[in-house]
Amino acid sequence: MKRIGILTSGGDAPGMNAAIRSVVRSSIYHDIEIYGIYYGYQGLIEGHIKRLHIGSVGDIIQRGGTMLYSSRSEEFKTGEGQAKAIEQLKKHDIEGLVVIGGDGSFRGAQKLTEKGFPCIGIPGTIDNDIPGTDNTIGFDTALNTVIQAVDKIRDTATSHERIYVIEVMGRDAGDLALWAGVAAGAESILIPEFPHDLEEVTEKIKRGHERGKRHSIIMVAEGVGSANDIANHIKDDLQVETRVTVLGHTQRGGSPTAFDRVLAGRLGAYAVDLLKGGQQGRMVGVQNNQLVHHDIIEALKLKNEISDDLYNLSNQLSI
Ligand code: ADP
Protein backbone atom coordinates (compact mmCIF):
# COMPACT_ATOMS: atom_id res chain seq x y z
CA MET A 1 0.00 0.00 0.00
CA LYS A 2 1.61 3.22 -1.19
CA ARG A 3 -1.14 5.78 -0.75
CA ILE A 4 -4.12 5.96 1.58
CA GLY A 5 -6.92 8.45 2.23
CA ILE A 6 -8.69 9.57 5.38
CA LEU A 7 -12.06 11.21 5.98
CA THR A 8 -14.36 12.06 8.88
CA SER A 9 -18.09 11.58 8.45
CA GLY A 10 -21.42 11.99 10.24
CA GLY A 11 -21.61 13.65 13.67
CA ASP A 12 -18.29 15.12 14.78
CA ALA A 13 -16.71 14.16 18.09
CA PRO A 14 -13.85 15.55 20.18
CA GLY A 15 -10.73 13.50 19.50
CA MET A 16 -11.34 13.11 15.77
CA ASN A 17 -8.44 15.50 15.16
CA ALA A 18 -6.16 13.42 17.37
CA ALA A 19 -7.18 10.36 15.31
CA ILE A 20 -6.48 12.16 12.03
CA ARG A 21 -3.07 13.17 13.37
CA SER A 22 -2.32 9.59 14.31
CA VAL A 23 -3.36 8.21 10.91
CA VAL A 24 -1.35 10.86 9.06
CA ARG A 25 1.81 10.47 11.10
CA SER A 26 1.63 6.67 11.24
CA SER A 27 1.24 6.51 7.45
CA ILE A 28 4.23 8.76 6.90
CA TYR A 29 6.21 6.74 9.45
CA HIS A 30 5.55 3.66 7.29
CA ASP A 31 6.43 5.51 4.04
CA ILE A 32 2.82 5.62 2.90
CA GLU A 33 1.52 8.81 1.29
CA ILE A 34 -1.59 10.12 3.00
CA TYR A 35 -4.40 12.16 1.46
CA GLY A 36 -7.03 14.10 3.40
CA ILE A 37 -10.57 13.98 2.03
CA TYR A 38 -12.54 17.04 3.12
CA TYR A 39 -16.31 17.20 3.92
CA GLY A 40 -16.85 13.47 4.41
CA TYR A 41 -18.32 11.25 1.68
CA GLN A 42 -19.83 14.24 -0.15
CA GLY A 43 -16.38 15.80 -0.42
CA LEU A 44 -15.04 12.50 -1.68
CA ILE A 45 -17.64 12.41 -4.47
CA GLU A 46 -16.78 16.01 -5.36
CA GLY A 47 -13.03 15.41 -5.25
CA HIS A 48 -12.01 17.61 -2.28
CA ILE A 49 -8.78 15.68 -1.79
CA LYS A 50 -5.40 17.04 -0.70
CA ARG A 51 -2.04 15.50 0.22
CA LEU A 52 -1.24 15.80 3.93
CA HIS A 53 2.22 16.09 5.46
CA ILE A 54 3.67 15.78 8.96
CA GLY A 55 3.09 19.49 9.57
CA SER A 56 -0.48 19.42 8.21
CA VAL A 57 -1.63 17.89 11.50
CA GLY A 58 0.47 20.02 13.85
CA ASP A 59 -1.32 21.82 16.69
CA ILE A 60 -4.60 19.90 16.33
CA ILE A 61 -4.28 17.19 19.00
CA GLN A 62 -5.97 19.45 21.55
CA ARG A 63 -8.76 20.75 19.30
CA GLY A 64 -12.37 19.56 19.15
CA GLY A 65 -14.21 19.13 15.85
CA THR A 66 -12.44 17.84 12.77
CA MET A 67 -9.95 19.67 10.56
CA LEU A 68 -11.23 17.61 7.61
CA TYR A 69 -14.79 18.79 8.31
CA SER A 70 -17.75 16.45 8.15
CA SER A 71 -21.00 16.13 6.25
CA ARG A 72 -23.97 13.91 5.67
CA SER A 73 -24.38 12.77 2.08
CA GLU A 74 -27.57 11.33 0.60
CA GLU A 75 -25.84 10.93 -2.75
CA PHE A 76 -23.25 8.61 -1.25
CA LYS A 77 -25.99 6.24 -0.11
CA THR A 78 -26.72 5.45 -3.79
CA GLY A 79 -24.74 3.02 -5.94
CA GLU A 80 -24.02 5.86 -8.34
CA GLY A 81 -22.61 8.04 -5.56
CA GLN A 82 -20.40 5.20 -4.35
CA ALA A 83 -19.13 4.61 -7.91
CA LYS A 84 -18.23 8.31 -8.17
CA ALA A 85 -16.40 8.09 -4.83
CA ILE A 86 -14.32 5.13 -6.01
CA GLU A 87 -13.57 6.92 -9.28
CA GLN A 88 -12.15 9.86 -7.31
CA LEU A 89 -10.03 7.58 -5.12
CA LYS A 90 -8.64 5.81 -8.20
CA LYS A 91 -7.98 9.12 -9.93
CA HIS A 92 -5.69 10.02 -7.03
CA ASP A 93 -4.11 6.51 -6.96
CA ILE A 94 -5.40 6.02 -3.42
CA GLU A 95 -5.46 2.32 -2.51
CA GLY A 96 -7.12 2.26 0.92
CA LEU A 97 -9.37 4.49 3.03
CA VAL A 98 -9.69 5.18 6.76
CA VAL A 99 -13.15 6.42 7.80
CA ILE A 100 -13.65 8.02 11.21
CA GLY A 101 -17.32 8.22 12.23
CA GLY A 102 -20.34 6.45 13.62
CA ASP A 103 -22.35 3.46 12.46
CA GLY A 104 -23.76 5.24 9.38
CA SER A 105 -20.25 6.12 8.26
CA PHE A 106 -19.21 2.50 8.88
CA ARG A 107 -22.01 1.24 6.63
CA GLY A 108 -20.71 3.57 3.93
CA ALA A 109 -17.17 2.21 4.39
CA GLN A 110 -18.55 -1.31 4.09
CA LYS A 111 -20.27 -0.43 0.79
CA LEU A 112 -16.94 0.77 -0.65
CA THR A 113 -15.20 -2.38 0.59
CA GLU A 114 -17.87 -4.57 -1.05
CA LYS A 115 -17.26 -2.69 -4.29
CA GLY A 116 -13.58 -3.60 -4.10
CA PHE A 117 -12.14 -0.59 -2.29
CA PRO A 118 -10.48 -1.49 1.07
CA CYS A 119 -11.71 0.55 4.05
CA ILE A 120 -11.10 0.53 7.80
CA GLY A 121 -13.47 2.24 10.27
CA ILE A 122 -12.43 4.11 13.42
CA PRO A 123 -15.31 4.65 15.88
CA GLY A 124 -15.72 8.36 16.54
CA THR A 125 -18.96 9.47 18.19
CA ILE A 126 -19.94 10.89 21.58
CA ASP A 127 -22.81 8.37 21.77
CA ASN A 128 -20.63 5.32 22.55
CA ASP A 129 -23.15 3.29 20.57
CA ILE A 130 -20.80 1.16 18.44
CA PRO A 131 -20.52 -2.51 19.39
CA GLY A 132 -17.04 -4.05 19.25
CA THR A 133 -15.28 -1.36 21.27
CA ASP A 134 -15.57 -0.43 24.94
CA ASN A 135 -15.26 3.27 24.11
CA THR A 136 -15.75 5.41 21.04
CA ILE A 137 -13.57 8.48 20.49
CA GLY A 138 -15.35 11.51 21.98
CA PHE A 139 -17.45 9.74 24.60
CA ASP A 140 -15.14 10.50 27.51
CA THR A 141 -14.90 14.17 26.58
CA ALA A 142 -18.67 14.53 26.21
CA LEU A 143 -19.13 12.78 29.53
CA ASN A 144 -16.83 15.28 31.23
CA THR A 145 -18.66 18.16 29.56
CA VAL A 146 -21.96 16.84 30.89
CA ILE A 147 -20.78 16.40 34.46
CA GLN A 148 -19.25 19.87 34.55
CA ALA A 149 -22.63 21.26 33.49
CA VAL A 150 -24.51 19.13 36.03
CA ASP A 151 -22.18 20.22 38.85
CA LYS A 152 -23.03 23.84 38.04
CA ILE A 153 -26.74 23.15 37.78
CA ARG A 154 -26.59 21.41 41.16
CA ASP A 155 -25.38 24.66 42.78
CA THR A 156 -28.39 26.61 41.60
CA ALA A 157 -30.76 23.68 42.17
CA THR A 158 -29.75 23.59 45.85
CA SER A 159 -30.03 27.37 46.27
CA HIS A 160 -33.54 27.44 44.87
CA GLU A 161 -34.82 24.05 45.94
CA ARG A 162 -35.75 22.84 42.50
CA ILE A 163 -35.96 19.66 40.53
CA TYR A 164 -33.75 19.71 37.46
CA VAL A 165 -34.40 17.45 34.50
CA ILE A 166 -31.33 17.30 32.27
CA GLU A 167 -31.50 15.89 28.77
CA VAL A 168 -28.30 14.52 27.29
CA MET A 169 -27.46 13.23 23.82
CA GLY A 170 -26.84 9.63 22.81
CA ARG A 171 -29.42 8.97 20.07
CA ASP A 172 -30.85 5.53 20.92
CA ALA A 173 -28.09 4.75 23.42
CA GLY A 174 -28.14 5.56 27.13
CA ASP A 175 -24.40 5.35 27.80
CA LEU A 176 -23.83 9.09 28.12
CA ALA A 177 -26.80 9.59 30.46
CA LEU A 178 -25.90 6.55 32.56
CA TRP A 179 -22.21 7.36 33.01
CA ALA A 180 -22.91 11.06 33.55
CA GLY A 181 -25.67 10.23 36.02
CA VAL A 182 -23.38 8.01 38.07
CA ALA A 183 -20.48 10.48 37.87
CA ALA A 184 -22.62 13.47 38.83
CA GLY A 185 -24.70 11.68 41.46
CA ALA A 186 -28.08 12.04 39.76
CA GLU A 187 -31.14 10.96 41.74
CA SER A 188 -32.72 9.17 38.78
CA ILE A 189 -31.40 8.09 35.40
CA LEU A 190 -33.79 7.37 32.55
CA ILE A 191 -32.28 5.53 29.58
CA PRO A 192 -33.83 3.64 26.67
CA GLU A 193 -32.21 0.30 27.57
CA PHE A 194 -34.20 -0.05 30.81
CA PRO A 195 -37.93 0.49 31.39
CA HIS A 196 -38.71 3.37 33.72
CA ASP A 197 -41.61 4.20 35.96
CA LEU A 198 -42.25 7.90 36.55
CA GLU A 199 -44.09 7.05 39.77
CA GLU A 200 -40.83 5.64 41.13
CA VAL A 201 -39.03 8.82 40.12
CA THR A 202 -41.53 11.01 41.96
CA GLU A 203 -41.55 8.70 44.98
CA LYS A 204 -37.78 9.03 45.22
CA ILE A 205 -38.00 12.81 45.02
CA LYS A 206 -40.62 12.78 47.78
CA ARG A 207 -38.46 10.58 50.02
CA GLY A 208 -35.47 12.86 49.49
CA HIS A 209 -37.56 15.93 50.24
CA GLU A 210 -38.82 14.42 53.49
CA ARG A 211 -35.29 13.95 54.74
CA GLY A 212 -34.38 17.55 53.90
CA LYS A 213 -32.88 17.25 50.45
CA ARG A 214 -33.08 20.55 48.59
CA HIS A 215 -32.69 19.39 45.03
CA SER A 216 -32.95 16.48 42.67
CA ILE A 217 -31.20 15.87 39.38
CA ILE A 218 -33.02 13.65 36.89
CA MET A 219 -30.84 12.55 33.99
CA VAL A 220 -32.73 11.75 30.79
CA ALA A 221 -31.22 10.25 27.64
CA GLU A 222 -32.65 11.82 24.48
CA GLY A 223 -33.68 8.34 23.34
CA VAL A 224 -36.22 8.14 26.17
CA GLY A 225 -38.28 11.09 24.98
CA SER A 226 -38.85 14.69 25.90
CA ALA A 227 -37.31 16.04 29.10
CA ASN A 228 -40.10 18.66 29.11
CA ASP A 229 -42.81 16.00 29.30
CA ILE A 230 -41.03 14.31 32.19
CA ALA A 231 -40.56 17.63 34.02
CA ASN A 232 -44.26 18.46 33.54
CA HIS A 233 -45.27 15.10 34.94
CA ILE A 234 -43.14 15.64 38.05
CA LYS A 235 -44.44 19.19 38.47
CA ASP A 236 -48.08 18.14 38.23
CA ASP A 237 -47.63 15.13 40.45
CA LEU A 238 -45.65 16.79 43.25
CA GLN A 239 -46.59 20.45 42.86
CA VAL A 240 -42.91 21.43 42.86
CA GLU A 241 -40.87 23.72 40.66
CA THR A 242 -39.04 21.94 37.89
CA ARG A 243 -36.54 23.21 35.36
CA VAL A 244 -35.35 21.58 32.16
CA THR A 245 -31.87 21.85 30.69
CA VAL A 246 -31.17 20.40 27.28
CA LEU A 247 -27.40 20.35 26.99
CA GLY A 248 -27.54 19.91 23.21
CA HIS A 249 -24.53 20.50 21.04
CA THR A 250 -22.28 21.80 23.83
CA GLN A 251 -21.72 18.06 24.34
CA ARG A 252 -20.12 17.69 20.93
CA GLY A 253 -17.47 20.38 21.28
CA GLY A 254 -14.42 21.12 23.35
CA SER A 255 -10.87 19.99 23.78
CA PRO A 256 -10.63 16.18 24.00
CA THR A 257 -9.72 14.59 27.33
CA ALA A 258 -6.43 12.74 27.76
CA PHE A 259 -8.35 9.46 27.51
CA ASP A 260 -9.85 10.35 24.13
CA ARG A 261 -6.54 11.62 22.77
CA VAL A 262 -4.72 8.43 23.71
CA LEU A 263 -7.57 6.26 22.40
CA ALA A 264 -7.52 8.21 19.12
CA GLY A 265 -3.76 7.82 18.87
CA ARG A 266 -3.93 4.06 19.39
CA LEU A 267 -6.85 3.47 17.01
CA GLY A 268 -5.42 5.68 14.27
CA ALA A 269 -2.09 3.88 14.21
CA TYR A 270 -3.82 0.50 14.36
CA ALA A 271 -6.06 1.34 11.38
CA VAL A 272 -2.97 2.12 9.31
CA ASP A 273 -1.33 -1.15 10.42
CA LEU A 274 -4.40 -3.09 9.28
CA LEU A 275 -4.61 -1.45 5.86
CA LYS A 276 -0.89 -1.99 5.40
CA GLY A 277 -1.37 -5.66 6.32
CA GLY A 278 -4.04 -6.11 3.64
CA GLN A 279 -7.10 -6.01 5.92
CA GLN A 280 -10.37 -4.49 4.73
CA GLY A 281 -13.96 -4.04 5.87
CA ARG A 282 -12.81 -4.00 9.50
CA MET A 283 -13.53 -1.65 12.37
CA VAL A 284 -10.95 -1.05 15.08
CA GLY A 285 -11.63 -0.80 18.78
CA VAL A 286 -10.28 -1.32 22.27
CA GLN A 287 -11.76 -4.05 24.47
CA ASN A 288 -10.37 -4.81 27.91
CA ASN A 289 -7.55 -2.41 27.02
CA GLN A 290 -6.49 -4.55 24.03
CA LEU A 291 -6.59 -3.30 20.45
CA VAL A 292 -9.09 -5.38 18.47
CA HIS A 293 -10.59 -5.42 15.00
CA HIS A 294 -13.90 -6.84 13.82
CA ASP A 295 -15.78 -7.30 10.58
CA ILE A 296 -17.81 -4.07 10.25
CA ILE A 297 -21.10 -5.74 9.37
CA GLU A 298 -20.79 -8.48 11.98
CA ALA A 299 -19.99 -5.85 14.63
CA LEU A 300 -22.92 -3.64 13.68
CA LYS A 301 -25.29 -6.61 13.89
CA LEU A 302 -24.51 -6.92 17.60
CA LYS A 303 -26.52 -5.08 20.20
CA ASN A 304 -24.71 -2.19 21.84
CA GLU A 305 -24.04 -3.43 25.37
CA ILE A 306 -24.85 -1.21 28.28
CA SER A 307 -23.54 -2.01 31.73
CA ASP A 308 -26.23 -3.62 33.91
CA ASP A 309 -23.81 -3.32 36.82
CA LEU A 310 -23.52 0.42 36.41
CA TYR A 311 -27.27 0.83 36.12
CA ASN A 312 -27.84 -1.21 39.29
CA LEU A 313 -25.12 0.74 41.05
CA SER A 314 -26.77 4.03 40.11
CA ASN A 315 -29.98 2.82 41.78
CA GLN A 316 -28.10 1.60 44.82
CA LEU A 317 -26.32 4.92 45.32
CA SER A 318 -29.36 7.13 44.85
CA ILE A 319 -31.76 5.54 47.34
P1 ADP B 1 -22.79 8.57 11.80
O2 ADP B 1 -21.64 8.06 11.02
O3 ADP B 1 -22.37 9.56 12.85
O4 ADP B 1 -23.67 7.46 12.31
P5 ADP B 1 -24.76 9.13 9.72
O6 ADP B 1 -25.65 8.00 10.09
O7 ADP B 1 -25.39 10.44 9.38
O8 ADP B 1 -23.68 9.47 10.83
O9 ADP B 1 -23.89 8.63 8.47
C10 ADP B 1 -22.93 9.48 7.85
C11 ADP B 1 -22.95 9.29 6.36
O12 ADP B 1 -22.60 7.94 6.04
C13 ADP B 1 -24.31 9.48 5.67
O14 ADP B 1 -24.60 10.85 5.40
C15 ADP B 1 -24.13 8.70 4.39
O16 ADP B 1 -23.43 9.45 3.42
C17 ADP B 1 -23.26 7.54 4.84
N18 ADP B 1 -24.11 6.36 5.10
C19 ADP B 1 -24.92 6.13 6.16
N20 ADP B 1 -25.58 4.96 6.04
C21 ADP B 1 -25.19 4.43 4.85
C22 ADP B 1 -25.53 3.23 4.13
N23 ADP B 1 -26.40 2.33 4.62
N24 ADP B 1 -24.92 3.03 2.94
C25 ADP B 1 -24.04 3.91 2.44
N26 ADP B 1 -23.69 5.05 3.07
C27 ADP B 1 -24.25 5.32 4.25
At position 63, the amino acid (one-letter code) is R
Instruction: Collapse the DSSP code of 272 into the 3-class scheme (helix H, G, I; strand E, B; otherwise coil) and give the result.
Output: helix
Strand 3-8 to strand 33-37: parallel, antiparallel, or no bridges (unpaired)?
parallel
Active site residues: 127
Please indicate whether residue 103, judged by its CB atom, sits closer than 6 Å to ligand 1.
yes
- The atom of ligand 1 lying closest to the CA of 9 is 10
Q: Say what the pLDDT of residue 319 is.
A: 82
Residue 30: φ, ψ to 5°: -95, 15
**DSSP percent split of the chain into helix, strand, coil, nearest 5:** 50, 20, 35
- Locate the domains of the chain by residue range: 3-138+256-301, 140-253
Pocket test for ligand 1, best of 72, 113, 283, 304 (most atoms within 8 A of CB): 72
Please indicate whether residue 9, judged by its CB atom, sits closer than 6 Å to ligand 1.
yes
Please indicate whether residue 127, judged by its CB atom, sits closer than 6 Å to ligand 1.
no
Q: Say what the pLDDT of residue 215 is.
A: 84
Give the Å distance between the CA of 9 and the centre of ligand 1.
8
- The atom of ligand 1 lying closest to the CA of 101 is 2
Please indicate whether residue 76, judged by its CB atom, sits closer than 6 Å to ligand 1.
yes
- How far apart (Å, rounded) are the C-alpha atoms in residues 179 and 257? 16
- The atom of ligand 1 lying closest to the CA of 82 is 25
Q: Say what the pLDDT of residue 19 is.
A: 99
Model confidence pLDDT, tens digit, residues 13-56: 999 999 999 999 999 999 999 999 999 999 999 999 999 999 99
CATH classification of 140-253 is 3.40.50.460, yes or no?
yes
- Is residue 127 a contact partner of residue 169, using CB atoms and an 8 Å limit? yes
Q: What number of CA atoms fall less than 13 Å from residue 192's CA on the CB side?
A: 20
Q: Whose CA is nearest to atom 23 of ligand 1?
A: 107
- Residue whose C-alpha is closest to residue 36's, from 28, 22, 24, 45: 24
Please indicate whether residue 196, judged by its CB atom, sits closer than 6 Å to ligand 1.
no
In order along its 319 residues, the chain shows pLDDT tens digits of 999 999 999 999 999 999 999 999 999 999 999 999 999 999 999 999 999 999 999 999 999 999 999 999 999 999 999 999 999 999 999 999 999 999 999 999 999 999 999 999 999 999 999 999 999 999 999 999 999 999 999 888 888 878 999 999 999 999 999 999 999 999 999 999 999 999 999 999 999 888 888 789 999 999 999 999 999 999 999 998 899 999 999 999 999 999 999 999 999 999 999 999 999 999 999 999 999 999 999 999 998 888 899 999 999 998 8
Please indicate whether residue 125, judged by its CB atom, sits closer than 6 Å to ligand 1.
yes
- Residue whose C-alpha is closest to residue 134's, from 313, 262, 285: 285
CATH for 3-138+256-301 is: 3.40.50.450
Give the Å distance between the CA of 70 and the centre of ligand 1.
11
